[in-house]
Structure 1
Amino acid sequence: MANPAIRAVVIDIEGTTTPISFVHDVLFPFARTHLPALVRTGAFDPAVAAELAAIEEAAPGSDPVTVLMGWMDTDAKHTPLKTLQGLVWRQGYAEGALKGMLYPDVAPRLRKWHAAGCRLFVYSSGSTEAQRLLFGHSDAGDLTGLFDGFFDTRIGAKRSSGSYQAIGREIGLPVDTILFLSDVEEELDAAVEASLVTCQLVRPMDKTAASERHPTADDFMRVEELFDLVRWRA
């Protein structure tokens, strides 16, 4: 049933706007190759030094590169890793070695929803820097101007309801007028616990298992149909 009350959409990236294969087969290997050189700049770059200090606090006396590689091996969502990955990817995008990959239905719908007055946000385990880079250097052009804000794990874990409560406060709208899109059922569960509206993206390319607890859509066109997103006007 259509939900005419939606006034903002919070969007996950991996498996939602972007194929999982792009993250795991392109972005992660690029970071793995270039992170050691970035770590070596830590004494000269305050942004890197701050994250190295956080790694030292988490794993005292350990080699930071070894820690980072271990976190990557387990797909850990630690903020120092995500921040340093973002710094590596910034250089890759700037040099043209990387270009953000989006599903073809994503950019046209984001532009349409934005024009209709829906406020758009991103919430991903990747750093806000990485989010802006992907959408700013996407294969559909620079989309960053469509978004009102970006959230990462600094606001909280994606499977914690408190994170979505905090996002609701930051957005400044009633949480039951905010739609969260993700492919991960447990993230959607946490969002529902915080009283957000949810929809699971079930992308055939990613072989996502469909949830029985949330509405599902195989692309953003179906999301638009389910929630009447273009009814809203600025």
Structure 2
Amino acid sequence: MPKVYVDKPKAIVFDFVGSAVKIGFIEKGLYAYIKKYGVKYLEERWNTKECRQLIANLKHQVEKDKEKDQNIPALEADSAALKTQVNAVISNLNWYLDKGRETNAHYKLKFAMWKDAYENQRLETHIYSDAARNIKKWRKAGIKTYIFSNAWHELQKLFLRFTTFGNLARNIDGYFDTEIGNPTDPETYKKIMEMIKVKKGSDMLFITKSPQEAFAARSAGIIAILIISHATQQKQIEPSVLEAFQVIKTFDQLKFTDEEEEAEEPEREEDYN
């Protein structure tokens, strides 16, 4: 695979899902876990203070959403049998998952389920091997490393604490989510530069699978590289866009100009299935 050379940056910021985490893991790993074990989780914790608050927030959100969409599965009253209430919550959660809809209340409930699963070794994040290898390498090279993702920053931390390559969170200097700004807005990247104390855009490297995010970062003066791992991703992007950026398939292709040559690394493995 051809190598892409850049000057060694002071900081690397990278997108998460699809760049480092296998895309299929979200649906076939995280979402599948909720559909398979969500009932058990709720039945065991239904009367805890934390769970009751999560359910109360969910009910409030669903009542609000149903004013605009009556197709949303309703939640049951507190007087209903436990199993009936639990099944209604899971049906509602799955409906939102299948529709690709997200609310803070749904997100927090899913996070609680995933956190329990990770901490009890029932889930681990499937990271591409080249991503794990290079995250560690950048750390040793003294490069500050950050994640910028649509995922809540606490979920990002959880993802990286429990991976197929161990605890990678210790190699990450910080996490950014959309609270800092829209990923397609150049001002967002200027804010990130300010937060991580990088004065020049040329001292920061941004790696993403999204052309829109790459254009935004470049508009902020930051070096942007696209990572397109599989042919299905490449087909979804206009050739003119691919020509506008340096493109890598794996993190192994990224080399710094002062870096010694290494043996050829294998191609990136297939997506999670």
TM-score when normalising by structure 2: 0.70
Distance 1:58 1:194 in 2: 38
Q: Which residue of 1 is the match for residue 268 of structure 2?
A: none
Q: Tell me which of 31, 35, 41 is aligned to 2:34.
A: 31
On the 8 A contact 1:20/1:206 being kept in 2, the answer is: no
Which residue pairs with 2:214 in the alignment? Answer: 188
Equivalent position of 1:45 in the other structure: 50
Q: 1:162 to 1:45 in 2, by over 3 A?
A: farther
Report the Cα offset of residue 52 of structure 1. Answer: 4.1
Offset, 1:71: 4.3
CA distances 1:144-173 after superposition (whole Å, capped 9, x unpaired): 111110112222232233322222221111
Equivalent of residue 11 in structure 1, options 3, 14, 19: 14
- Contact kept, 8 Å, 1:32 with 1:69, in 2: the verdict is yes
Runs of 4+ in 1 over 6 A off after TM superposition: none
For residues 213 and 68 of structure 1, do their structure 2 counterparts lie closer, same or farther at Cα, with a shift above 3 Å needed?
Answer: farther
Which of 94, 97, 100 aligns to 2:122? It is 97
Indicate conservation of the 8 Å contact 2:58/2:106, yes or no.
no
1:37-84 CA-to-partner distances (Å, cap 9, x unmatched) read 66x859822973796498469737675757754543343465554443
State the Cα deviation string for residues 176-204 of structure 1 (Å, max 9, x = none). 12111111212212222222211111112
User: Which whole-Å CA distance do the structure 2 matches of 1:7 and 1:57 have between them?
Assistant: 48
Count of aligned residue pairs for this structure pair: 229
CA drift of 1:17 comes to 0.6
Q: Could you list the per-position Cα deviations for residues 14-37 of structure 1 after superposition, in whole angstroms to 9, with x for gaps in the alignment?
A: 110121111121112223456676
Q: Give the whole-Å Cα distance in 1 for the aligned partners of 2:215 and 2:258.
A: 22
Question: Which residue, out of 229, 241, 250, partners 1:219?
Answer: 250
Counterpart Cα distance in 2 of 1:32 and 1:175 = 46
Which residue in 2 is equivalent to 1:203? 229
Q: So what's the TM-score if we normalise by structure 1?
A: 0.80
8 A Cα contact 2:61 2:105, kept in partner: yes
Q: Paired residue for 1:132?
A: 157
User: Structure 1 stretches of 5 or more lacking a match?
Assistant: none
**Could you say what secondary structure the match of 1:135 adopts?**
helix
Aligned with residue 156 of structure 1, among 181, 189, 199:
181
Aligned partners of 1:43 and 1:49 also within 8 Å = no
Q: Which residue identity is paired with 1:118? A: I
2:132 is aligned to 107
Please tell me the root mean square deviation across aligned C-alpha atoms, in Å.
Answer: 3.3
The 8 Å contact of residues 214 and 224 in structure 2, kept in 1 or not, is answered as: yes
More deviation in 141-150 or 87-96?
Answer: 87-96
Measure the CA separation in 1 of the matches of 2:257 and 2:57. Answer: 42
Partner residue, 1:146: 171
Amino acid at match of 2:22: P
- Matched with 2:81 is none
Task: Report the secondary structure of 1:18's partner residue.
Answer: coil
Label 1:34 to 1:117 Cα distance change in 2 as closer, same or farther (>3 A). same
What is the percent sequence identity of the aligned residues?
22
Q: CA deviation at 1:4?
A: 1.6
* Mapped pair 1:59 → 2:65: yes
Letter of the structure 2 residue corresponding to residue 48 of structure 1: L
The residue identity in structure 1 corresponding to 2:247 is T
* Distance (Å, rounded) in 2 between the aligned partners of 1:67 and 1:175: 47
The CA distance in 2 between the partners of 1:42 and 1:163, in whole Å, is 41
Instruction: Measure the CA separation in 2 of the matches of 1:73 and 1:187.
Output: 26
Alpha-carbon displacement from aligned partner over 1:203-223 (angstroms, at most 9, x marks no partner): 127644462322110111112
